[in-house]
Structure formats: structure tokens, C-alpha cells
Amino acid sequence: MFKFASLLGIASLAFGQGISSDKLQKFEDVLALSDSFDPIQAAYWTGLPHHRRTPFAVSPDGTTAFLAYLNSKKSAVVVQQVDPSSFKAIGDAVNVSGYEAGGLVAHNDGFALLTKTDATGSSNLPTDNTPVATLVRYTNGAASWSTELNGASSFGAGQMGRTATPDINGDLVYSESAGLYGAYYVVTAYDGDASGHYGDAISYVSDKGERKDDTVGTNAWGCSHNTGIAFEEADEAPFASVCAEDHGSIWLNTDTRGMSGIKIAGENTTNGVSGEPMGGMSGSYSNLARLGTSGAYMFAWQSRGCVNLKQDDWMGAGFTQCDPRWLNHNVAVAPLSSKNALVGNEAISEVGAAEGDKQVIWITEDEDTDHQNVRVAAFDESNVLVTYEIISNPTCEPVPLSCSGTFSGTGFQLVSSSGATQGSALTDTDVTVSGDIAKMADGRLCWPYVKQAWDLSAPKDSGTATSKMSFACISLDGPTSASSSSSGNASSAV
């Protein structure tokens, strides 16, 4: 319907080849966990099962990898060093006080973790013991510093109010060029003008743990009821950011940090629900990828399309809401030429327009199958991997909630830097993507997942605790010499 193609795709080394089953490696149950892990987190509003995030990161020199996960008691985040070839444990795990594994950066000498913790201090603390977002740095196995990002010392407290973070639903990135960590996370205000409301915030922190509230791009309050946050590093602040709010739009908001900027897409939303375009609860990771060392990016999300545009009376003139094209979700991508510019046209906000999604690059266009948990990662400046879960015979709820049904595998689609699909998608029924997709030193893209029967047929707020973690990898040139299990139940068509 709205497929986008470009001659730029001809430059791709893998043009037309796609992802074949021999390029997928599985390392099943290879990592023994020092503490058990509950792999399921219930979705916001619907209670349907989501993957509880397991952040995964590889050091700049490629020799060190780390996995983070929340233990099943939900009392600590466990960070385990992992061999980047075998994915087996190296040394003892580190237990970090915290209630969510919300983002991870690997360094040559350790790691930085975004989590949520109990606020410190004696006054102006969050109500109801709501936690705050906290960035923790470990060097050579020992804690170096810990920096609270909101709470009593919230940036901009005199404007919208002080904030807490009940769920991060965001990401942590690091720019070596800028010497800055960037965190994008959900907030709720517990005093001030925004008290009781939900939004998001962006914080920057130096290598020494100093919060840089004067850095360009720092923001105390952004998109409303944001359960969709995409964030990626840039050579200097502000970093590339995308938000999905609950009033009808997805914004490239690098320059605005709010419900404005460059409109990537119109979406069917309702007050309080943004429709989980970037994963919702425990999501918003691996939705925005930088293409190698270039200044280009790729954004990927799940969408119901956008038709019959109407005035958004709450936001006012120039803002619209729309009906869904489908009740099921399809996979969409948007290439960015820079951290603050799209390659193609932005979405329209024309009241009365019959279609508001003509600019969208669709990876799938299916009226009978749902697509969830969309992720993206870059092999290099020309080749990008898009992954998504396939749900057959879905029951899809309007308003816009989500879809339940039968999990029928994870799709792996190679696309060019322009968003053009390369060959056919691969489907695998064993592998899911529940942790960050990281690029390895040998060029593979790898991620952690829990080997389990993935059931999306009904709400579920917890799973069977596991003491093992699996990994999977995809390469452009086929498997490396690293040992792995068989590719199993893989097929070559979606």
C-alpha cells in the first residue's frame, strides 16, 4: 500500500538476500543465573504479558559484555558479566539495590545501570514511597557513584513539580564523544502544577556522576502518559529522542523534548493510553538505532495506521487525532537523516483528511495478523535488522488497547538504510527478543531471551521463574565459529 523504495538500498552488501535460517544462531539456556528471574511483566491497562526487560550491552573494545535483570523477589537488579562469544558467566554477579532493570551501558572497566530506587533525604520525598530514577556506575566490580535523577532534587521542580518514577519504560545511552550519559524515563509529579499527572523526563549525567541539569536537552516534563520512549546517543547533546503520547502522535522531539517537533506518525490513542507503539511496560528499548558512526538513525514501531483525521480539542489548532486503519498492528519504520530530521515527509495534521499515514514505510501490511514487540538494530550504515512478534488469529480491542492471540513466531526482516525491505523475512518459533539488541565485535547482532512457551492468549502478570538465560545472534554472513544449538524451527517466509 505505502511501500517505500530507494536506490540507496543497492549499496547494501546484503541487498535482496534477506535473513536466512543459517544466519540465526541460538545459545539455549547457556547462562546460569545467580538469582532467579520472572520473565513476565503485565502490560499497562490490559494486563497482557510483556517480556520483562533484560538489558544487555557490550563494551567499546568488544571484550566485555554485561546482562542485567530484576531478581524474582523484585528486591535487586543482578548484573552479570558475560563472555561475548560463549555467553557464559564470567566471575560473580553484582547485586544492585533497585526495582527495575531500566537500561545498561557497558564500559571497558565496568558498567552503568539505570534503575529505580527508594529516594534518599528527609524532606520533599515522593508520596506513597514511589521510587525515583537512579543511575549507578560500577568500576572493576565496585560501586563508583550513584546519582538520583529526580525526587526531592528534581530538575524544574518549581515549574511542573517534583517527580518520581513508578516505571522507567525508557532507556539509558552513553556518548563517548560528549562524555555524557543520557536517560529518558517516565515520571509522575507528586507536587506542583502537574501533581497526579504522568509524563517523561530526560536527564544527562557526566562520567563522574554529576547531574548536568544545564545541558541542552535536559527536560523535567515532556510527553503525556508516555509509555513509548525511544532514545539514542549522539555526538553531542541533545541526544536523539522520540516519544509516543496519548493525544494522537509520535514525535521526533530531539529539539523540543515535548509533544511537538517533527511528527513521525499519527496514531489512534485515548487519554491515558498511547497504544504501546514502542513496547509499553518494560519496553521502549531498541526502537531507535544509530546507523554505525553516521549521523543517521532508524526508528521502528508497531502501528494501527491513521485515517479520518479530526481536531484534537485538548491540544488545540494544528493537532489531530485519528481512527485506526486496522485494529491489529503492523510494523513500521522511519529513517532519520540526523537526530532531528526525517528522510521523508512528516505526518500530516490536516483536519478532515481521509488518510494520515501515506508517509509511513510499512514492513508488514496484514489485516489478519497482529505484530508486537517491534525492535530495530543496525549492522552498519547500510543494513538494519527489524524484529517483531507475530500473533495469529488475534482478538484486538479498540480504544486503543492491544491484541491477544496465538504466538506464531518472531519475524526478522533485513531493511536498507532507506527502509526498503531486503529479501523475505525469517520466522522463528523458538526465539523472542526480550533484551537489548547489541552489536558484537565480530559484527553480529545478539540479544538475551528466556526459552519458554510464549503465550499471548490472555492476561498474565507473572511467569515461571527461571535460573537460565538464552541468547540469539544474527549475522549478515552466516554463523561464526562460536558454538550454538541448531536453528530449530525456522522458516523463510512470514
Report the pLDDT value the prediction gives residue 8, as an integer from 0 to 100. 36
pLDDT tens for the chain, 494 residues long, are 333 333 333 333 444 578 999 999 999 999 999 999 999 999 988 999 999 999 999 999 999 999 999 999 999 999 999 999 999 999 999 999 999 999 999 999 999 999 999 999 999 999 999 999 999 999 999 999 999 999 999 998 887 899 999 999 999 999 999 999 999 999 999 999 999 999 999 999 999 999 999 999 999 999 988 778 999 999 999 999 999 999 999 999 999 999 999 999 999 999 888 889 999 999 999 999 999 999 999 999 999 999 999 999 888 999 999 999 999 999 999 999 999 999 999 999 999 999 999 999 999 999 999 999 999 999 999 999 999 999 999 999 998 889 999 999 999 999 999 999 999 999 999 999 999 999 999 999 999 999 999 999 999 999 999 999 999 999 998 765 444 444 444 544 33
Q: Write down the domain spans for the chain.
A: 7-47+155-491
What is the C-alpha separation between 167 and 345, in angstroms, rounded? 33
Cis peptide before 238 (omega within 30 of 0): yes
Q: Residue 93 in contact with residue 67, Cβ under 8 Å?
A: no
Burial label for 483, CB within 10 Å (0-12, 13-18, 19+), is exposed
Report the pLDDT value the prediction gives residue 18, as an integer from 0 to 100. 86
Q: Residue 299 in contact with residue 287, Cβ under 8 Å?
A: yes
Report the pLDDT value the prediction gives residue 480, as an integer from 0 to 100. 57
Report the pLDDT value the prediction gives residue 157, as an integer from 0 to 100. 85
Report the pLDDT value the prediction gives residue 485, as an integer from 0 to 100. 47
Cell output for 195: 501533581
| pLDDT, tens only, 357-403 | 999 999 999 999 999 999 999 999 999 999 999 999 999 999 888 99
What is the C-alpha separation between 15 and 17, in angstroms, rounded? 6
What is the C-alpha separation between 85 and 240, in angstroms, rounded? 30
For 129, which DSSP code? G
Cβ neighbours of residue 154 under 8 Å, at least 6 residues apart? 161, 162, 163, 220
What is the C-alpha separation between 341 and 335, in angstroms, rounded? 9
Report the pLDDT value the prediction gives residue 296, as an integer from 0 to 100. 98
For residue 43, CA distances in Å to 196, 198, 275, 282, 403 come to 20, 16, 11, 8, 11
Q: Residue 427 in contact with residue 398, Cβ under 8 Å?
A: no
Q: What is the residue type of 304?
A: R
Q: What φ, ψ does residue 35 adopt, rounded to 5°?
A: -140, 155
Report the pLDDT value the prediction gives residue 492, as an integer from 0 to 100. 41
Report the pLDDT value the prediction gives residue 484, as an integer from 0 to 100. 47
Sheet holding 370-378, edge to edge: 370-378, 383-396, 403-416, 421-428, 490-491
Q: What is the model's pTM?
A: 0.93
Residue with cell 552488501: 13
Cβ neighbours of residue 382 under 8 Å, at least 6 residues apart? 11, 12, 13, 291, 416, 417
